[in-house]
């Protein structure tokens, strides 16, 4: 592996490695970690608009829209009309709730492995640094 001082290179490499570990944990549930995160956000937010969901997740609307289409095709989310025609709401379906509930123990196990590998103090420091960078 080539050495680099580029923070972006190191962050992207680390993100791919971490995502791969979570994706492997979620493999049997038909969702990846990005989809799991989206479903978790929908669980926490009550009927968010596409715009508010994108903002909460730190995504642009077009990226979120592509991710939602996949989940909608799988029956895990549904789109509904909002207060006006420009405002669409995102709903977690019963099937989505069930998938999320089934996958949560696998996600928790992956999370525990990551925290164990880092230690709680380093995890807390990493989260602090990542928030600062974001």
In degrees and rounded to multiples of 5, residue 88 shows phi and psi of: -105, 140
Phi, psi of 31 (to 5 degrees): -135, 155
Which residue ranges form the domains of the chain, and what is each CATH number? 7-133 (1.10.10.10)
Percent of the chain with pLDDT over 90: 87
The verdict on pTM exceeding 0.85 is yes
HEC sequence for the chain: CCCCCCHHHHHHHHHHHHHHHHHHHHHHHCCCHHHHHHHHHHHHCCCCEHHHHHHHHCCCHHHHHHHHHHHHHCCCEEEEECCCCCCEEEEECHHHHHHHHHHHHHHHHHHHHHHHHHCHHHHHHHHHHHHHHC
Q: What would the pLDDT profile of 81-112 be if each residue is shown by its tens digit?
A: 877 767 789 999 999 999 999 999 999 999 99
For 60-81, how does the pLDDT look when each residue is reduced to its tens digit (9 = 90+)? 999 999 999 999 999 999 999 8
- pLDDT at residue number 134: 85
Distances 105 to 10, 46, 80, 95 between C-alpha atoms, Å: 29, 23, 30, 17
């Amino acid at each position: 592996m080539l050495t680099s001082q580029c923070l972006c290179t190191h962050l992207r490499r680390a993100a791919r490695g971490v995502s791969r570990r979570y994706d492997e944990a979620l493999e049997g549930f038909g969702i990846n970690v990005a989809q799991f995160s989206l479903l978790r956000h929908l669980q926490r937010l009550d009927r968010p608009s596409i715009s508010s969901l994108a903002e909460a997740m730190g995504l642009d609307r077009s990226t979120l829209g592509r991710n939602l289409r996949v989940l909608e095709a799988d029956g895990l989310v549904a789109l509904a009309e909002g207060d006006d025609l420009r405002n669409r709401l995102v709903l977690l379906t019963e099937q989505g709730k069930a998938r999320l509930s089934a996958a949560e123990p696998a996600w928790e196990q992956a999370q525990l492995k990551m925290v164990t590998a880092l230690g709680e103090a380093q995890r807390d420091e990493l989260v602090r640094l990542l928030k600062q960078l974001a």
